[in-house]
Amino acid sequence: MSKTREERISFALSISTDTKEFIMGRGASEKAPEVFLKYFPGREALIMADVHTWPALGSRVFGLFESAGIPVLKHIIMEEEFHAEWKYVELVDGLLDANPEAVLVSVGSGVINDLCKLSSHHHSQSYLTLPTACSVDGYSSFGASITYQGAKQTFSCPAPVAIVADIDVIAAAPAEMTAAGYADLAAKVPAGAEWMISDFVGTEPIHPDAWHVLQDYLDDFLANPEAVAAGDPDAIADVFEGLTLSGFAMQAARSSRPASCCDHLFSHILDMTEHRYKGKLQSHGFQVAIGTLTMCAVFDELFKQDLTAIDVDACVAAWPSLEAEQQRALKIFEGFPAPRLGYDEITKKWQDKAEVRRQLEKLKEEWPSFKKKLQGQVYSYKKMRDLLKASGAPYEPEQIGLSKQQLHDMFQKVQLMRYRYNVLDLAKRGGFYDAIVEPLFAPGGPFER
Ligand SMILES: [Zn+2]
């Protein structure tokens, strides 16, 4: 890698809008009281943990704060299994209401961190996070992903002022959590390609700092899946750093655009429908693994298309009205926990015929060079499958309890459920949607039914 870890992190902190400190290393949790005193002098610490993270790190941090003379409280969420749902936001809000001097110290993985992030924002203050697993990129991201009224939503709220990541603790987390984090990082490969597409059509230009802070090193961070699976602290530190840099990218862009696109929407559908496999909700990263792999397969098909041959007039003539798209969305989302989601999002992202014509003419003309750029970014299905498999993440939909038919049927929702422009939107405009989706599920395709 062209820069050292120290240089990479110092650049990330220079572009971040909320986070002032990111300490990562073996035994780093010893520094938590010092960091707390630096940013929250005179305040009380309220440690939030769960039944797993309290013994793994919380009780130790509690002791460290006591020894440092910092008044410290704790709350342990006792449920064995819980997701980021609104009722827990209310719980943490209530704790802060009852303890107005307290500042949250999140000791846990993605869910606890997101709860602390949003509740701190509700109380116009920041917090300190101590990640216990290399499982998601949310520790340093702007926004919290919470299920509210049936729909998975990203609430705008600042990232923590400080992150103290103890690699000894993180590397000791269950291997499947680390594999999930690896997959969440791998998602930045197709997500980056879809950002290039929205940049190409001009809907969401690439933010250079937010791009370079992670994408310049992404291939290196993903290069050692076997070592990640073996629990090697250095390899896990690379993945954790990658995930955290991804959060900094989101801070700089004030959006989750740098970190997710369709790869994540498959996961959002599964969250909203409370999809279970063998009775268990599947982790964010495991769901994202399948979304990521699926999108790499979509790009394989995209690269087989000759888009210089697009009949722009015919595509523009066939382009549906907003009303038609709204009706289509209502039909597709009928019976879904958030039945108006597709309607609302397509209303935001529908474009008129003149704009569709402009995009297709540009695509037709620049396809050979643009295709090369995309190919330099995205991995093939085969490469992504090998990496995910080696990391211990799922690489077949059945491994998270999804049939290939279910995966197929999710596509139409995925295209419509976010206002953000994605590769499927481009394909709808250019009339090659079926050509890049259906072969995945046809005989000989990666998800042959
Ligand atoms: Zn994610």
CA of 70 to the centre of ligand 1 (A): 34
pLDDT > 90: what percent of the chain? Answer: 92
pLDDT (tens digit per residue) in 47-90: 999 999 999 999 999 999 999 999 999 999 999 878 888 999 99
pLDDT lower than 50: segments of the chain = none
CA of 66 to the centre of ligand 1 (A): 34
Alpha carbon 158 to its chain's center = 16
CA of 356 to the centre of ligand 1 (A): 30
CA of 431 to the centre of ligand 1 (A): 30
Which pLDDT score, from 0 to 100, does residue 82 have? 82
Which pLDDT score, from 0 to 100, does residue 167 have? 97
Distances (CA, A) of 74 to 56, 222, 299: 15, 36, 47
Residue found under tokens 């926990």 = 337
CA of 316 to the centre of ligand 1 (A): 35
Q: What is the token pair recorded at 111?
A: 């869910």
Which pLDDT score, from 0 to 100, does residue 180 have? 97
- CATH 3.40.50.1970 range(s) for the chain read 5-173
Distance CA 443, CA 449 (A): 7
pLDDT (tens digit per residue) in 200-224: 999 999 999 999 999 999 999 999 9
Q: What are the b/e assignments for 104-127, b being 16+ CB within 10 Å? A: bbbbbbbbbbbbbbbbbbbbebbb
CA of 264 to the centre of ligand 1 (A): 6
CA of 417 to the centre of ligand 1 (A): 16
CA of 114 to the centre of ligand 1 (A): 12
Domain 5-173: CATH architecture, name and number where available: 3-Layer(aba) Sandwich (3.40)
Judge whether 161 and 125 are in contact, CB under 8 Å.
no
CA of 57 to the centre of ligand 1 (A): 23
Run of H or E including 164: strand 162-166
Cα-based angle 98, 126, 43 (whole degrees, multiple of 5)? 55
CA of 260 to the centre of ligand 1 (A): 7
> For the chain, how far is it from start to end, CA to CA, in angstroms?
41
Tell me 123's DSSP state: T
Distance CA 284, CA 265 (A): 11
CA of 42 to the centre of ligand 1 (A): 35
